[in-house]
Every structure is written in structure tokens, then in C-alpha cells.
Amino acid sequence: MPLVSPKEMFQKAYNEGFAIGAFNVNNMEIIQGIIQAGEAEKSPLILQVSAGAKKYAGLTYIVKLMEAAVATSNIPLVLHLDHGTDFAICKEVIDGGFTSVMIDGSHLEFEKNIALTKEVVAYAHDKGVFVEAELGRLAGVEEDIVSAEHIYTDPDEAVEFVERTGCDSLAIAIGTSHGAYKFKGEGKLDFDRLEKISQLLPNFPIVLHGASSVPQEFVKMANEFGGNIGSASGVPEELLRKAASMAVCKINIDTDIRLAMTATIRKCLVENPEHFDPREYLAPARNAVYEMVKYKIKNVLGSSEKI
């Protein structure tokens, strides 16, 4: 099956109250672990590439790895640009074969965000490529932009933004944040705001960034085997399930992949100090990604058997 647009996936997800997992990819083992999980669960998937991933692996390597994934799997796959911050990077990946892009003008003021998003929409739609935009600001680090405070998405502005830009989905800020340290106390999301936005924008797919749940088993494992990632915490799974049952059709996960791999590699190296073949720790790390993504699809996203 060739790479597809997320359009049909989101329509089904919206109608049936589940969400598609959008997983960040940086290398072959991560791609393989995610896709094997999608295969096992018969789930559609979005694999997303940040500017940092593009720089790390190289665009051609990522695209060719995705071609290999497409050639060897039977599930619908989207190749998406995560947090594109300017027109040039969106154009580059659209020309390179991506089926979906995010133009993230959330750091700009409203009119400038609209102008940039419109420019990307015009180019992308001409090539049949889907466009996610963002309005509001998540606390935490996105690419190199650090934002100390959340700026929650204003529902009326969201309507105006979608109407004027013609974007296909919208990432909103309702309390999630990027990285491994999301909440000091109890995790909370502004579901009233999500509900209001979805009432004003009926049948329109909403995206949740910063949606890793930071499984404590990996935090514990990493800390136990020489790591120091302190008291990390994520979005409680029941909040993600609730969001998926509402208008949220895409849930972004990167931190959980990093934690699963790193905790596993730490454990492997400590338990087997004589090992020096990278396959001896990369294979278990890939398997940890597989198990984590499979669990997420089945128990959080609800996208099993939805192809």
C-alpha cells in the first residue's frame, strides 16, 4: 500500500471515537518497532519527522526507510512533517514525497501565523498534501523554541484561523506539553475548551501534541540502570482516551519512544557488560518500542482493527 493522506483515517477516527498515533521517527529501529506494532494491531499509523530528525538521519534516508516500510507492510501509513516552522522545509518534504505536513506558526502573532499557514496550504493542496496547523502555544521545548507558559487556544480564534487558512487539521493547546516533565501535580486537560472548539468546528480533526504518557516503568528502569531522569510525568492515559473519544484524531508521541529505547539500552548494557555488538542492545530497544506502541494502540488510542 503506498503512503496515504491522513484525511480518510481522520474521518473514520472522528466518526468512531478513536485517534491515530503519530510517532516520531529518527532511525531504522524506531520505524521498524512502530510499524511492527501497527501490523500486529492492524492499525493505521502516522510516522512523523521533525527538522531535528531530518538533520540527524538525512531526508533521503528517512524517505527510503519509509519506502521500505511501505514495501513490507500492509497497513495505511502517513509520512508527516512535525513542526515545520517555515515554508521552505514544508516545500522540501512535500517535493520529497511526504503526504502530510505541519506548519507550526504558533510562535508568531495571529495574522502572521495565518499568512504563513495560507502560503503552505496553497502549495500543499496543489500537490494533494494534507496540512496541520497550530494555534495556541504549548509550554516546553519545541525544536529550538522554548515557551515557559501555555497559551491555551481561543475557540473563536480557532474558527477564524481554520476558515481563513484552509488548513486540514488543527493542533491546539489545552494543557499538554512536550518532553518528559509535563505536570508538577495531577495531570489535567481543559476538556471544556476542546468541547467548545469541536462544537464550533464540527467534523474537523483536532491534534494533540505533547501527548506522551511517560510510562513509569521506563523512568524507573532508566533510573535504576544509571540514568538520572528524575521524577518525569506524562499525560494520564485516561485523559488521552477521553480526548480520543472526542474530536482529537491525532495524538503525538515522541518522548515515550525515547524513554522505552533508552531505558532498555541502559538495562542491556548494565546486565551484559561484555556485549559490544550494537545489535545486542538495539534489537531489545526496537522490541521495547514495538511493545509500547502496541500497548498504546490497543489501550489508549483505540485504533486496533481500524484499517
Is 82 annotated as catalytic? yes
Answer yes or no whether residue 53 interacts with ligand G3H by CB under 6 A.
yes
Answer yes or no whether residue 169 interacts with ligand 13P by CB under 6 A.
no
Contact set for Zn ion, span 121-150 (CB under 5 A)? none
Answer yes or no whether residue 24 interacts with ligand G3H by CB under 6 A.
yes
Distance of CA 294 to the CA centre of its chain: 15
Name which of Zn ion, ligand G3H, ligand 13P, none residue 53 binds, using a CB cut-off of 5 to 8 Å depending on partner kind. Answer: ligand G3H
Give the DSSP letter string of 236-288: -HHHHHHHHHTTEEEEEESHHHHHHHHHHHHHHHHH-TT---THHHHHHHHHH
Closest to 172 measured CA to CA, from 193, 186, 187, 188: 193
- Out of 80, 182, 193, 209, the only residue in the binding site for Zn ion (CB under 5 A) is 209
Beta-carbon contacts of residue 9 (< 8 Å; ≥ 6 apart): 20, 44, 46, 76, 78, 249
For ligand G3H, give the closer residue by CB, 50 or 165: 50
Closest-by-Cβ residue to ligand G3H is: 52
Contact set for ligand G3H, span 168-197 (CB under 6 A)? 178
For Zn ion, give the closer residue by CB, 138 or 221: 138
Beta-carbon contacts of residue 137 (< 8 Å; ≥ 6 apart): 106, 107, 147, 149, 150, 151, 173
Give the contact letters, 71-90, x = binds to ligand 13P (CB under 6 A), - = no.
-----------xx-------
The packing angle between helices 59-72 and 28-41, to 10°, is: 30
Selecting among 82, 168, 254, 256, the annotated active-site residue is 82
Q: Quick one: which segment of 4-12, 155-163, 206-214, 217-225 binds Zn ion (CB under 5 A)?
A: 206-214
For ligand 13P, give the closer residue by CB, 182 or 267: 182
Ramachandran area for residue 6 (φ above 0: left; ψ -120 to 50: alpha; else beta): alpha
Beta-carbon contacts of residue 291 (< 8 Å; ≥ 6 apart): 37, 260
Q: DSSP 3-state assignment of 28?
A: helix
Chain residues binding ligand G3H by CB under 6 A are 24, 50, 52-53, 82-83, 142-143, 178, 254
Query: Annotated active-site positions, please?
Result: 82
Chain residues binding ligand 13P by CB under 6 A are 24, 82-83, 178-179, 209-212, 252-255
